[in-house]
Amino acid sequence: MSGENTNGLTLTVIELAQARQHARELGDTLARARAGLEEIFRQTHGEAIQAHETIKLHVTDLENSVRDLALRAFSQDKTNKQPAPGVGIRVTTSPDYDKAAAFGWAKTHGLALQLDTKAFNDICKSDSTRPDFVTITETPVATIATDLTSLLGEGK
């Protein structure tokens, strides 16, 4: 790389370090201001906050009771899918099967098969296990260190 391009890159990285530091400082200032405002809010509205937390717990308890009572009513009458106003029963289905038997069926029928790409990619990493039809492509990716403060010198 030419000296001019390297110098331009170095200057841009230093500018990035300065911008990150400035963003971090502003973020810290805002966080302190927000914390102060939140404390004032909690002091001013403490009773309402506590009442809200209490009622949320009560709502959760009532929702659980309604679900339990609705399921009990449905267990007594399987046709009653609306045991109370605003309450419904939804019956879901899900298959339960032996995984090995299901995979055997899928191979036999050529259906429901999916390549385990992670395992296959691991196999392809080694020259000795890589199938002939696989090629390896190298793609460069630029990375930037999270902490660039060392570029800012002593003044930070």
| pLDDT tens-digit readout, 49-101 | 999 999 999 999 999 999 999 999 999 999 999 999 999 999 998 888 888 88
Whether residue 2 has pLDDT greater than 80: no
Tokens coding 133: 């039809």
Calculate mean pLDDT across residues 22-39: 97
Q: How far apart are the first and last CA of the chain?
A: 29
Centre a 10 Å sphere on the Cβ of residue 17 and count the other Cβ atoms it contains.
Answer: 19
DSSP letter for 154, please. Answer: S
Q: What is the pTM of this model?
A: 0.56
- Which of 64, 61, 67, 65 lies closest to 89, judged by CA? 67
Which residues lie across from 84 on neighbouring strands? 87
CA 51 remoteness from chain centre? 31
